[in-house]
Structures are given as structure tokens and as C-alpha cells.
A and B are shown apart, each in its own frame.
Chain A
Amino acid sequence: MMRTASLALSHLDAWLEAMRGPAGYGGPVVHWWGQCWRFTGAAADWRYEGIILGYLRLWERTAAEVWLARACRAANEVVEQALPSGGYRYSSFELNPSPFGTPHEAACDVALLRLALALRAAGRHAEAAERYAATAARNLQQVYANTLWDGETGGFRDVPSVPGFVPNKQATVAEASFALDEWQGTRTWTERYALPALRLIVRAQELTAGPNFGAIDQILTRSARGWSASGRYFPLYVARCLPALVDGAFRFQDPQMALAARHAAQFIVRRISPTGECPLIVYANGAIRRRPAWIAALGDLLRCLTVAQKVGGPPPPSALLDRLLAGQDANGGIRTAHGFAAILDGRSDPHLPEVRDVLHVAGWADKAFRYLADTVDPPPEPQPPFAEELDIACTFRGRRLRLLELPAELRLEYAGRTVYRWRKGQNWVTLDAIWLDVR
């Protein structure tokens, strides 16, 4: 298993190299509630969190300079996207192209700051470290603190004029706040922002006895009548709350945060099937949406559940890693999910995956990369991208397609005709079928 996982890491690194263009890691995005298929430019969204921290970890574990070079290369690409406002130009993942994406910009900040801290500790690349930290600090100050922070509520909004607060996004900003304070040698960000943000996450937790005990609601909305919850629990996003809660529990010596993390981890593990499948959404009304079930993003489930063990959370089931590794294709890319066709109880062939299942997305694969970089035997050196064309039969809304991927391009064919083509490195695709044009 470890040899397989180590190979998987090596192959995933090779695939990530094939997703690069002049400005960085690009590609289409698929997501449960929307896609970004036409814009494929390098995006300073959460893909850089896993990419930078994954390469950083490989360097820390092996001392091989090539990994540090890749981490710094990626960090430079985020810095290049910084705007005078402090935001990052294309940071909105499935909502791209657009700046001010959440939690994406904070996720980039976490990576920039952790890399800066590591460089400073190692006495390496001092100027670059300063630049990375300054870029992240400006984003946190100008976008998060000065624009999105709601001091009355004690949380970060998604949009300044809308009083909606997403717990997993509070968690990412809390992680960035901790890192910024470590860089600056202060406690300002920890106390002024991270602490109330973490308390907001705890507020969103379901504490009524029942199957959803420990779950964390997806969005809290504040109105004159008080707080209201969305009624949705996304196990993946509950997981992304765990590292910040655990870190907060130790920093603040706060047993409530530790308990919240433990209960949340227990909720997630209860929901994971014996085959490692985790439902997409659990509703407060008892309904469960199982599909699409994430594959590449299982890396974050694994990572976050592992962290929660520090406060007594259950270990991540081994089936999660099995499922993650089983989702890797021959070119090193990892499938995004299983079951996108079920969103619409679609007309697609039950024996073939939907195209969104098999599309390899940098911003999901980074989570697998980060986890594997931290846990499996690291490869001795990088290998080049696979030259062979990946050819996968798939479907979309009743039509049979072929997904064809080479290091230089990704395309979809329908009835022998190319209906979608992304030349890697280009910001926009050519798309020649209105039925394929979705967002």
C-alpha cells in the first residue's frame, strides 16, 4: 500500500506539472453547485494551498531542493496575482474569473505565510520570504480585516453587504491569522480575529442529540431576528474546520473548541461508508445527498481527521485512502468525484462516469497532493508528465463523450467532433456545444 501511495504521489506531481502554463496552475473547475469551464487561466485559489504546502512538506522531509523550488515558484505565482486592493486577481475557483474569492484568498495566505516561516527558520531566501509574508499580510489586512470583517458579529462575511458567515471559511482565515502572528511575533490577529471566528464556528455546531450531532452548519445568517442556519452539513467543509479548531483549542487552552472538533470529527466518520464514500450533503431535515461523492478532496478529509486525533477525534478510516488512490488515472490526475450525474438523476449511462467525475481539477487534486506529501514515502525526484494520451469514455446529459488529455491539451469529443478544447496555458477554451456550456 505504501509503495502504491508513493507512486501515486509521484504521478500526481507529474500531472500537476502538466497543468501549468506561463502564469501557473490552470484548468477547468467542477463543483457541486457550479462549474467554471470556459475560463481556465492560472487561478490564485485554494489549489495553491495544497500545492505550496505539499511541496514545502516534501522539501522538509527530503531536503531535496527541487521541491523547495516548486513551492517558491508557486508562491511567486500567487504574488503575481496580487492586486493593489490586496485581493488576488482570479481567486474565485468555480466563480472565476473574479477576485476576492473565499476561502481561497485566505487559503493562499496560509500557504504563503507557512512557506515564509519555513524559509526564515532555515535562513533561506530571505527576500522571497518577506515578499510572501507581505503579500499575505496585505490580503488579510485590506480584504479580510478592512472589508469583510463584521466586528459586531465577530466573523468574516463573504460579501461586505450580506450578513452570511460560512464556518469553514472562518476556519481558513483563523489559520492564516495564526500564521501571520507567528511571522510578526504578535498576538493581534489571533485575539482580534481568530478567536471570535472560531467561536462563530462553535456556534454553528449542531448539539441536539441525534444522527447530526457534532455537524457544523454550512452558513449562518445574521438578521434582526437573530441567527439562522442553512440546514445543510457538508462533511468536507466540516472537516476543513477541524485544524483551526484544534489549533485554537491549544492556543487558547479552550476545552470547548477541543470538544467541538472531536464531535465534528465523530460526525464525519459516522457518515463514511465501508468503501470510503462520504456523502456530499447531510440535511438537517434528515435527507442525505450522497452524490457526487468526492474523490480527490478526500485528501482534506484524511488530513483534517488526522489532525483532530490530537483532541480525541477518531482516526480516519483506511477506506478513505483506498478510495483516493483508486481514483487516480494513468496520467497521474485524480478524479474529482463519483456520481455527478445524480445531481439531476440524469439520463446518463449508469455504467459510464459523468464527465465532471473524471475531469481532473487542480483545485481538488491539491488536497490529495498535500496529504500524500505529508504521509507517504516521498519520491526521490520528480518525473516528467506522462506523454501518452488519456482517453476516458464518459457522458454528459445523455450524450456519450470522450475525454482526451495530453500534457499540452484537454479536449472533449462528441460523435467524433471536438466540442471542448483547452490548450494548457490558455485562459479560455473553445467550446462548441451549447448543451455543454454550463456554469
Chain B
Amino acid sequence: MGNTDYVGGQQPGVPAVTGIRWDVETTIHALATAPPAWWRPPLDITRLLDLLAGLARPPVGIIAPDPTLLLPALIRLPSATVIAIPSGHAATSGQLAMIGAFIGAEPRMTTLSAVSPGSFRTVLWLDLHRPPTLVALRQVDRCLDGTGLLAMAIQSAAIAVPTLTTLRLRRTLQHAGLRIIWTCGFLGPRALVWSAVARLALTAGRLDRYDRYHAAMRAAYAERWPGALLCRTVVVLARGT
């Protein structure tokens, strides 16, 4: 088995910010030291990204500083471009190298300021804990072509307690001139109850019941609007007008 040095290619017209070179040893080290969530992403992340990957139309831009989201997003959308936003919060070059070990290619990178207007048909905002400001949203909208799709995911610390974050996000989207077409949530109160019941069953030594209640939790995982207001992870889809 020979060395498999790999340097990722660059998409024409979209400048790469990094030039990562990694070899077999680096790759193995990256795989072995990656957090468990990189190998088995949490269910709400998986559900969220499956939904978005099915809707996305290329070219796709992804804003995801957290590599736990960026990696599975790139697995589903390998030709997407990663957009760094000017907030000082981004995946490190080491993390990008680790992502490259998983997907077999260097992620395509650019910055928000470098993107030409109308470059993308889909943009995914996956900075879960930092919903965009109106200014950032208008910059992102500028990246979209015509009636391109903007998908925003946010996460709250609480479940089953209504938060203003989702309401604010929807209002911000509307103020930016975008049309909200769908909102849904993952891990809401129904799923939370089943999860709690499952854990009780586990504590009581009833593995059979734990398995059944865990299946019920998975079945109750998604909520439509307005139930999404009570969910931990919320996705809002909007289009340019």
C-alpha cells in the first residue's frame, strides 16, 4: 500500500482559502482522534441534514462553523462550498483536515465577502447557536440566485419551553425580504417524554421496554409548525422573492 498524499482541488471561480496536504498517517490519526459525534452524528443533526440534502439544489453554500455539522453536511453534499462568515468563528485548519480524512477531499472554502452575487441556488446556515443578524442575512440573500433556497437551522438549550429565538429568526427573515415556506423542528416534547420513559425502563432493568420506548421516541422526533416552537432544533426554509 503506497502513500496516498492528497491535495484537494479547487472549484473554478470559488477561491480556496486552505491548501491542506495530508497523508496516510495523518488520515489515520484524524480518524482515530475524531470525536464520537463525527462517527455517529446525533439524531437531530442527521434528520436535519437529510431533510436539507434532499431539498438542496446545486450550487450549494454551507455556513457551518461547527465541524460536527459541517462534516455530515459535506458527506451529503460533497460538491458544496463552505462559506466562512466574518464573525471570527470557523472550523480550524486542523478540523478541516480531519473532515477531509472523512470525505476524501479537501472542502471547498470561500468567505462571504468573496462570493459573487447569485452564486448559489441553495445556502444552508448551520450555525446553530448564532442566528444571523439582519445584515448577515442580507449578505447571504445576495449570494442566492433569484428565488434560491435559504435553509436556516438553530438550536435552543431548552426543549418544550417556547423560545423567542425561532420567532425572532422568522421575523428577521421576513424583514430581509425573504419568504418563509416551511418550518419544522426535531426533538420536541413528545420525543422528550418517550426518551425519559425509556431511561426509566432502562433503570428498572426492562431492556425490552427501553427498546420499545426508544423506537417511540424516534417516531415522535419531528414536529411541524407551530409545534416546532417547542423543539430543540428548528429548521426554517425561505426563498428569495
Q: A residues near B, CB below 8 A?
A: 33-34, 38-39, 83-85, 87, 89, 95, 97-100, 134, 137-138, 141-143, 146-147, 158-162, 230-232, 281, 283-285, 287, 289, 343-345, 397, 428-431, 434, 437-439
| Contact for B31 among A85, A137, A162, CB less than 8 A | A85
Given contacts A84-B6, A437-B51, contact A287 B207 (CB under 8 A): yes
B11 contacts chain A at the CB level, 8 A cutoff: no
Shortest beta-carbon contacts, A-B, top 5: A83-B104, A287-B208, A428-B54, A38-B50, A159-B39
Contact A99 B6 (CB under 8 A): no
The tally of CB-CB contacts under 8 A between chains A and B is 113
Q: B residues near A, CB below 8 A?
A: 1, 4, 6, 24, 27-28, 31-36, 39-41, 43, 46-47, 50-51, 53-54, 72, 75-76, 101-104, 184, 205-208, 211-212, 214-216, 218-219, 221-224
Contact A439 B27 (CB under 8 A): no
Q: How far is the CA of A345 from the CA of B184 in the complex (A)?
A: 26
Q: How far is the CA of A142 from the CA of B54 in the complex (A)?
A: 32
Contact B207 A231 (CB under 8 A): yes
| Contact for B224 among A39, A345, A434, CB less than 8 A | A434
Contact A439 B54 (CB under 8 A): no
Q: How far is the CB of A292 from chain B (nearest CB, A)?
A: 11
Given contacts A98-B75, A100-B31, A438-B219, 19 further A-B contacts (CB under 8 A): A33-B214, A38-B51, A38-B53, A83-B104, A84-B101, A85-B101, A97-B76, A142-B27, A142-B28, A146-B32, A232-B207, A284-B207, A287-B207, A343-B212, A430-B54, A437-B222, A438-B218, A439-B47, A439-B50
Which partner residue on chain B sits nearest A289 by CB separation? B208
- Complex contacts, B1 vs chain A, CB 8 Å: 134, 137-138, 141-142
Which partner residue on chain A sits nearest B27 by CB separation? A85
Which partner residue on chain B sits nearest A40 by CB separation? B54
Contact A160 B31 (CB under 8 A): yes
- Complex contacts, B208 vs chain A, CB 8 Å: 281, 283, 285, 287, 289
Q: How far is the CA of A138 from the CA of B3 in the complex (A)?
A: 11
Q: How far is the CB of A116 from chain B (nearest CB, A)?
A: 15
Given contacts A39-B76, A162-B36, A430-B54, contact A285 B207 (CB under 8 A): yes
Contact B36 A343 (CB under 8 A): no
Contact B215 A33 (CB under 8 A): yes
Contact A84 B27 (CB under 8 A): yes
- Complex contacts, A162 vs chain B, CB 8 Å: 36
Q: How far is the CA of A147 from the CA of B103 in the complex (A)?
A: 16
Given contacts A147-B28, A439-B47, contact A434 B222 (CB under 8 A): yes
- Complex contacts, A283 vs chain B, CB 8 Å: 207-208
Interface centre among B40, B54, B214, B219 (most CB of A within 10 A): B54
Q: How far is the CA of A431 from the CA of B104 in the complex (A)?
A: 29
Contact A343 B215 (CB under 8 A): yes
Q: How far is the CA of A281 from the CA of B211 in the complex (A)?
A: 10
Q: How far is the CB of A91 from chain B (nearest CB, A)?
A: 11
Q: How far is the CB of A197 from chain B (nearest CB, A)?
A: 19
- Complex contacts, B24 vs chain A, CB 8 Å: 84, 142
Q: How far is the CB of B170 from chain A (nearest CB, A)?
A: 18
Which partner residue on chain B sits nearest A89 by CB separation? B104
- Complex contacts, B104 vs chain A, CB 8 Å: 83-85, 89
- Complex contacts, B54 vs chain A, CB 8 Å: 38, 428-431
- Complex contacts, B51 vs chain A, CB 8 Å: 38, 437
Given contacts A285-B207, A434-B184, contact A34 B75 (CB under 8 A): no
Contact A397 B219 (CB under 8 A): yes
Contact A34 B207 (CB under 8 A): no
Given contacts A38-B54, A137-B1, contact A439 B207 (CB under 8 A): no
